[in-house]
Amino acid sequence: MTAFAPKIRIRLTLWYVGIFGAALIAFICVASVVHYFHLIDQLYHEEIQDMETVEGLLYFGADAQLYLREDYFISPQHRELLDRMLEVLDLDGTVLFRNSKLGGNSLGGSRLPDEGRIEYFRHSLRLRDGTRVLAISHVRPVQGKTVLIRIGYSTEVIRKQSIELFGLLMAVMPFALLVAGFAGSRVAGKALDPLETMARLTEHITAHRLNERIPIKNADDELGHMARVLNDLLGRLEASFQKLQRFTSDVSHELRTPLASIRSVGEVGLQVDHDPARYRDIIGSMLEQLARLTSMVDTLLTIAHADSGVITLHHSAFSITEMVQECVGIVRVLAEDKRQRISVTGENVGEVVADRSFVRMAVMNLLDNAVKYSPCDSEIHVRVKLAGASSHDRQMVEIEIEDQGPGIPEADRERVFDRFVRLDDARNSETGGAGLGLSIAKWAIEAHGGTISLLGAIGGGATFSIAIPLTHVS
């Protein structure tokens, strides 16, 4: 069983709530700490003000003891002053006065090194009962005698307030997360609605509706980019389907002709009795059509394997000039039947690293076309030369095959490499073939990183040019 995978909307909402919750917890912690230290800072400044008040209330009595006036009016707004802890020492560390709030505790014991050097020395301490206290010290003369005055206030109230604030914010946090989850779900839904619309439209596109496209509302955002990618994919699929349909139709048409011819010859041959010689002619005619059919099927299999990437090229080094001479030697037999001459010019350009069988097949197809469509008593020129020998270009070898046939109009020079294309005026069914030779040649050359093109010849005819690199680059 496959594990449950929540929808993207749910995952986006959970991520949003999780990130928002983590940010909210961090904010609550930072806010509580900042609030605590802010209150501590306020308490420190209030202690300074209280220190100035206490300094005016201290006096020495007739018995040389230090006293604090208790009849001084304290404003009701400063109730915290009633929690004041007060301790007065002389410079030798002898305790001169402690108020009842201290309860026998000390605000620091003996004089500390920084007391007296810093005007209002601030320090924190913990009393014996565990109470945390923020204290300040100030050296001040009282009636001519210099004393050390210490004032302290408990920070327990501040700590309690900070904890209460932290608890309150944490208690509100679940409600904030619920609101964030609802908002995140709505935002994720709005963001993913166009994607769902695209998916819904794509589901209705079939092989018969490949012309439909997904509407693009905003071409600059990610969803617009996705829509463009899908539309491009649909365009390529539509072109492939149309090409496949044309290919299927052309194959059906090309196969129907030899099959119908074989059937017609056989049926005619069976209608009346013939002598053995006539039967041999009938069977020969049928075998001729069968050979054409077999050749076409083999070619179609080669094309199918090439389109699917099944064919593996076996590269080897061989002389391109010798291979061209070999092809010309084979085709010259056909040319002699039409009293045609084939001339080969060019020097030995060295060895080419390629699949010899496929390059040979491409050259053979072009030579065969030249012989078929050139008139009798004509000449076919084959030229081999180097090109692109500069430091910036790969060195290429070019093979040009020029015939003296009817030529090909400029508008049809690209189309002539398509499958099953035969130009009606010059390349009719009498020449044989199925219009696959140039398509095979184009694939074979381009598979080696080369090019094949059709040039117009001077005075008519056609010139096919093959260019392939001397060395193979994988």
Tell me the DSSP string of 47-77.
Answer: HHHHHHHHHHHEEE-TTS-EEE-S-S---GG
What's the token pair of residue 208? 């018969």
Residue 98: pLDDT over 80: yes
The pLDDT of residue 171: 92
Residue 25: pLDDT over 90: yes
Task: For tokens 């505790």, name the residue.
Answer: 105
Binning pLDDT at 50, 70 and 90, where does residue 392 land?
very low
Of 367, 364, 385, 358, give the one whose Cα is nearest residue 445.
358
The better pLDDT of the pair 61, 304 is held by: 61
Other CB atoms closer than 10 Å to residue 376's CB: what's the count?
9
Are residues 361 and 441 in contact, defined by beta-carbon separation less than 8 angstroms? yes
The pLDDT of residue 425: 43
Q: How close are the terminal C-alpha atoms of the chain, in Å?
A: 44
Provide mean pLDDT across the span 56-71: 83
Residue 430: pLDDT over 50: no
Residue 429: pLDDT over 50: no
The top-level CATH class assigned to 8-160 is alpha beta
Tell me the DSSP string of 315-363.
Answer: -EEEEHHHHHHHHHHHHHHHHHHTT-EEEEE-----EEEE-HHHHHHHH
Distance CA 436, CA 417 (A): 8
Asked if the domains at 8-160 and 316-469 fall in one CATH topology, the answer is: no
The pLDDT of residue 36: 92
Provide mean pLDDT across the span 391-399: 72
The pLDDT of residue 264: 77
The better pLDDT of the pair 288, 257 is held by: 288
The pLDDT of residue 472: 47
State pLDDT tens for residues 169-226.
999 999 998 988 888 888 887 877 777 777 787 777 777 777 777 787 777 777 778 8
Residue 38: pLDDT over 90: yes
State pLDDT tens for residues 337-358.
888 898 888 877 778 888 888 8
State pLDDT tens for residues 229-282.
888 888 888 877 777 776 676 666 666 666 777 777 777 777 777 778 877 877
Are residues 264 and 289 in contact, defined by beta-carbon separation less than 8 angstroms? no
Task: Enter the CATH code of domain 316-469.
Answer: 3.30.565.10
Distance CA 137, CA 111 (A): 10
Binning pLDDT at 50, 70 and 90, where does residue 37 land?
very high
Distance CA 366, CA 441 (A): 8
Are residues 403 and 380 in contact, defined by beta-carbon separation less than 8 angstroms? yes
The pLDDT of residue 426: 43
Residue 1: pLDDT over 60: no
The pLDDT of residue 420: 62
Binning pLDDT at 50, 70 and 90, where does residue 299 land?
low
Of 327, 322, 379, 319, give the one whose Cα is nearest residue 353.
319
- Sequence-separated (6 or more) residues with CB below 8 Å from residue 416: 408, 423, 438, 454
Distance CA 252, CA 261 (A): 14
Structural domain boundaries in the chain? 8-160, 234-308, 316-469
Distance CA 427, CA 404 (A): 14
The pLDDT of residue 222: 77
Are residues 119 and 140 in contact, defined by beta-carbon separation less than 8 angstroms? no
Of 388, 381, 371, give the one whose Cα is nearest residue 437.
371
Are residues 324 and 383 in contact, defined by beta-carbon separation less than 8 angstroms? no
Distance CA 258, CA 67 (A): 132
The pLDDT of residue 79: 45
Percent of the chain with pLDDT over 90: 8
Binning pLDDT at 50, 70 and 90, where does residue 421 land?
low
Q: Supply the DSSP symbol for 118.
A: B
Are residues 96 and 89 in contact, defined by beta-carbon separation less than 8 angstroms? yes
Task: Enter the CATH code of domain 234-308.
Answer: 1.10.287.130
Of 173, 176, 133, give the one whose Cα is nearest residue 156.
133
Distance CA 451, CA 352 (A): 15
Distance CA 467, CA 217 (A): 46
Are residues 134 and 153 in contact, defined by beta-carbon separation less than 8 angstroms? yes
